[in-house]
A and B are shown apart, each in its own frame.
Chain A
C-alpha cells in the first residue's frame, strides 16, 4: 500500500512527458492514471498524507466514500482523455491535460480549505492551455475570459476561507453551510465553477472554443469538482434545490436554438449539473448517492458525446449543425457511439443515465417536492429533444451535407468504444456503480413500472420531435449567435468601457478648460496691467504729475468757496 496522493502522481508524472518521445510517451501517459488508480484502490478510509505549513495541518489525502467515487471517475476520465488525444502532437496539451486532471483529483482528496484552494486555482491555470492550444483569435479571447472568471472563483474561495479561519480557527473542509459570511463567499466560489444560473456563461463561452481533445477533459473535471465540493460543504442546503431546478430547465431552451453542436452539448452539460445540484440540495442519503452516481455516469456519457462531435470537428473542421448532416455514411462507427452517448444522457433504460438520474427524481418525490419533480421531468423529456436527438440527428443524419469525411482515427475510436462500453455496462449492471457510492444503496432502478414510465416519456418526446419536424415547426439550424449573459461583458461591458473612455476624455478637456485656460487668462490680464508695458507699470512724466496736483488744488479751492457761500 502506497500512501501517496493520486493527484500528485499525475502532476509529477506530467512534468516528465516533454522529455519522452513516440510510443514511450504514450505508454507513460497511459500508465500514470493506471498507477494512480491502483494506489487509490488500495487506500483505506482516513487521512493519510499531512504536511505542516504556517502553523496549520494540511491534509492532502482525506479518503472517504464521497472522495473515492469522484477520484475513481476522474481517473477513468483522464485515461479515456489520454487515449482520445494520443494523435495530438502538441506536447503542451498533454502536459496541461494531465496536470489539470491531477489538480482536480488533488482537490477531491483535500481535507482542508487551503489545500482545496491551491488545487482549485491549479485546475484553472492548467486547463486554460487546453483552450489556448486551439490557436485561434476567438480561442485566445475566450481563454482569457475563462481564466479571469476561474481565478475569480478561487479568490472568492480564498476570501471565504480566511473569514471562516478567523471565525472558527479551523481550516478543515467539512460541512460549511450558508449561516456565516464565509460560507456564502465559498458557496459563490463553488457556484461559479458549478455554473449556477447567471454565473454559468463562462462554460458556453470557453468550452466550444477549446481543441477537440481539450473539450473532452474540460467537460469532465471543473464542473464535477464543484459538484463534489458542494456535496461536501453544502449538502442539505435548501436553496440549492431551487437553484438546481432552475438550472435543469433554462439552458435547454438555448440548446434547442443553438447551432454549434459543441455548445449544444455544453448547454446540456449545464442542465445535467442542475440535477446534481438538486440532489445535493435535498441532502438525503438517496439524493447524495444520486448526485454522486449522476456525476459518474454524466462524466462518461458527456465525454463520449464530446468525443464523437470532436471527431466530426477533427475530420470536417466544423461542429455547426447547419453545415453538417448525413455523416453516418462515412463515419458510421462514430455515429453509433454518438447514439450510445445520446441514449445515456436521455436516460433510456439499459443505458447509464437511467439508473443515476432516477435516483435524484425519486429522492425529490420522497421528500414531497412535487414542483421540483415536475420541473426535472420536464427537463428529462426535453433533454431527449435538444440533446439526445438533436446532436446525432443534425450531425449524422438530417439533410445530407455532402460531406464524406474519413472515419475517426483509431485512437479516438478506441476511447469512444471504452466510454460506450462503460455507459452500457453501468446501465445493465448498476450494482457495480452502486457499490462505490458514499452510502449504502437500497434502490432498484429496474421495476416494470419505472421502465414503462421512462419509455413512455421518451417515446412521446420522440413523437413530438417528429411531429414538429414534419410540420416545419422545429426551428431551423441557422448560422447565428444567441445572446446569453455574456452579453453583459461582451457588449454592455465594452460599451461601458467606450463610454467611460469618452467621458474621461471629455472630463479631461472640461477640466483643462476650467482650470488651465482660466488661470492662463488671469495671468495674461495680470501681465497686461502689471507687466512691463502695463498701465500700472508706465513711467509718468513729472509735468503731468504737477498738472494733476494743480487740478486737484483748484477743485479743492472751488469746493471750499462754494462751502463759504
Chain B
C-alpha cells in the first residue's frame, strides 16, 4: 500500500522513537507510584465509607478500565459484531 513508506522511518529514527516511548512509560509508572504514596500525607475527606482507604481510587480506576475493555472485547463484541453491510441486503 502507498502509506507503507510513512510507517517505516530510518532505523535510527525508529530506535530513538522507541527510546522515547520507554522513557514515557517509566514516567507513567513513576507518576502512578507518587500518586498512590500521596494518599499518606494528604488527608482525605471521604465521600463514602470506603473511598478513604489507601489507594482506593487508583485501584478502582485500573480495575474499572480493565473490566470495561475486556468485557467489551470478549463478551459484547462476539455477540454484536457483524460485517459492514449486514443491513444492506
Question: Contact at B57–A400, with CB atoms within 8 Å?
Answer: no
- On whether the beta carbons of A326 and B6 are closer than 8 Å, the reply is yes
| Nearest Cβ on chain B to A354's Cβ, whole angstroms | 14
Q: In this complex, what residue of B is CB-closest to A382?
A: B68
Residue interface mask B1-39, A partner, CB < 8 A = 1: 111111100000000000000000100110110011011
Against A, the Cβ 8 Å flags (1 = close, 0 = not) of B49-89 are 11100010111111011101111110011011111101100
> How many Å lie between the Cα of A294 and that of B49 in the bound state?
26
CB-based contact A257/B38 at 8 Å: no
Determine the main DSSP class of B at the interface with A: helix
A548 an interface residue at 8 Å Cβ cutoff?
no
- State whether the Cβ of A133 lies closer than 8 Å to any Cβ in chain B: no
Of the candidates A386, A465, A482, the one whose C-beta lies within 8 Å of that of B82 is A482
Distance, CA A252 to CA B69, complexed state (A): 9
Contact of B3 among A378, A403, A453 (CB under 8 A): A403
A266 to chain B, nearest CB (A): 16
Q: Are B28 and A463 in contact (CB under 8 A)?
A: yes
Contact between B51 and A385, CB atoms less than 8 A apart: no
Q: Do B73 and A466 touch across chains, with their CB atoms under 8 A apart?
A: no
Interface residue from B3, B35, B76, B79 paired with A456 (Cβ < 8 Å): B35
Q: Does A217 contact B (CB under 8 A)?
A: no
Q: Is the Cβ of A452 less than 8 Å from the Cβ of B35?
A: yes
- What is the total of A-B residue contacts with beta carbons within 8 Å? 161
Grouping DSSP codes into helix (H, G, I), strand (E, B) and loop, the A interface class, with mixed when no group exceeds half, is: helix
Within 8 A of B (CB), among A284-305: none
Q: How far is the CB of B14 from chain A (nearest CB, A)?
A: 12
With known contacts A475-B77, A483-B80, A373–B61 Cβ distance under 8 A: no
Given contacts A475-B69, A483-B82, contact A459 B45 (CB under 8 A): no
Residue from the list A257, A453, A478 in contact with B76, Cβ < 8 A: A257
Picked from B3, B39, B57, B77, the residue with its CB within 8 Å of the CB of A482 is B77
Bound-complex Cα distance A483 to B80 (A): 5
Contact A370 B65 (CB under 8 A): no
Q: Does A24 contact B (CB under 8 A)?
A: no
Chain A residue nearest to B47 (CB atoms) is: A365
Check A381–B45 contact: CB distance below 8 A.
no
A399 within 8 A of B: yes
Q: Does A473 contact B (CB under 8 A)?
A: yes
Tell me whether A458 and B43 are in contact in the complex, defined as CB-CB below 8 angstroms, given that A400-B7, A480-B81 are known contacts.
no
Q: Is the CB of A462 within 8 A of B73?
A: no
Q: Are the C-beta atoms of B32 and A459 separated by less than 8 Å?
A: yes
B39: which A residues are within 8 A, CB to CB?
A: 452, 456
Do A479 and B84 touch across chains, with their CB atoms under 8 A apart? yes
Cβ of B87 and Cβ of A481 under 8 Å apart? yes
Residues 321-367 of A at the B interface (beta carbon under 8 Å): 326, 361-362, 365
Given contacts A402-B2, A483-B80, A460 and B45 within 8 Å (CB-CB): no
Does B44 lie within 8 Å of A466, measured CB to CB?
Answer: no
Task: Give the chain A neighbours of B49 by CB distance below 8 A.
Answer: 370
Residue of A nearest to B1 (CB): A402
Q: In the complex, which residues of chain B have a beta carbon less than 8 angstroms from the beta carbon of A464?
A: 61-62, 65-66, 69
Interface check A474, CB cutoff 8 A: yes
Q: Kindly identify which residue among B31, B65, B82 contacts A385, using a CB–CB cutoff of 8 Å.
A: B65
Minimum Cβ distance to chain A for residue B55 (Å): 8
User: Cα distance A464–B39 when bound, in Å?
Assistant: 20
CA gap between A449 and B58 in the complex, in Å: 13
A462 touches B28 (CB 8 A): yes
In the complex, residue of chain A having the shortest beta-carbon distance to the beta carbon of B2: A402
- Of residues 443 through 465 on chain A, the ones whose CB sits less than 8 Å from some CB of chain B are 447-450, 452-465
Please name all residues of chain B whose beta carbon is closer than 8 Å to the beta carbon of A452 when the two chains form the complex. Answer: 35, 38-39, 42, 44, 57
Chain B count of residues within 8 A CB distance of the other chain: 51
Cβ–Cβ contact A401 & B3, under 8 A: yes
Q: How far is the CA of A513 from the CA of B11 in the complex (A)?
A: 80
| CB-contact partner of A449 in B32, B45, B82, B87, under 8 A | B45
A459 & B58 in contact (Cβ 8 Å cutoff): yes
Contacts of A362 in B (CB 8 A): 47
Using A459-B35, A459-B58 as known contacts, say yes or no to A253 and B68 having CB atoms under 8 A apart: yes
Q: Which residues of B contact A384 (CB under 8 A)?
A: 65
Residues on B with C-beta less than 8 A from A462 are 28
Measured between alpha carbons, how far is A218 from B39 in the docked complex, in Å?
42
B76/A253 in contact, CB under 8 A: yes
Which of A400, A453, A468 has its CB near the most chain B CB atoms (within 10 A)?
Answer: A453
Residue A14, interface by CB 8 Å: no
B60 and A457 form a contact (CB under 8 A): yes
Residues on the B chain within 8 Å of A483, using CB: 79-82
Q: Bound state CA distance, A257 and B83, in angstroms?
A: 13
Inside 8 A of B32's CB, which chain A residues have their CB? 459-460, 463
Which residues of chain A come closer than 8 Å to B5, judged between CB atoms?
402
Out of A365, A382, A459, A482, which one reaches B81, CB within 8 Å?
A: A482
Task: Check A377 for interface membership: any CB of B closer than 8 A.
Answer: yes
**Are A449 and B44 in contact (CB-based, < 8 A)?**
yes
- The reply on A491 being an interface residue by CB < 8 A is yes
Complex: chain A residue closest to B31, CB-CB: A459
**Is residue A490 contacting chain B, with contact meaning CB distance below 8 A?**
yes
How would residues 429 to 448 of chain A score, 1 for a CB under 8 Å from any chain B CB and 0 otherwise? Answer: 00000000000000000011
8 closest A-B pairs by beta carbon, nearest first, are: A402-B3, A464-B65, A256-B72, A365-B47, A460-B61, A381-B64, A456-B57, A457-B61
28 contacts between A and B (CB under 8 A): A256-B76, A326-B6, A365-B47, A365-B48, A381-B60, A384-B65, A386-B68, A400-B6, A402-B3, A403-B3, A452-B38, A453-B57, A457-B57, A459-B28, A459-B31, A459-B35, A460-B32, A462-B28, A464-B66, A464-B69, A468-B69, A468-B70, A473-B69, A473-B70, A478-B81, A481-B86, A482-B77, A491-B87
* Chain B contact residues, CB within 8 Å of chain A: 1-7, 25, 28-29, 31-32, 35-36, 38-39, 42-45, 47-51, 55, 57-62, 64-66, 68-73, 76-77, 79-84, 86-87
List 13 additional A-B contacts (Cβ < 8 Å) besides A461-B62, A465-B65.
Answer: A252-B68, A253-B72, A256-B76, A370-B49, A377-B60, A378-B64, A382-B65, A400-B3, A454-B57, A456-B57, A456-B61, A482-B82, A483-B82
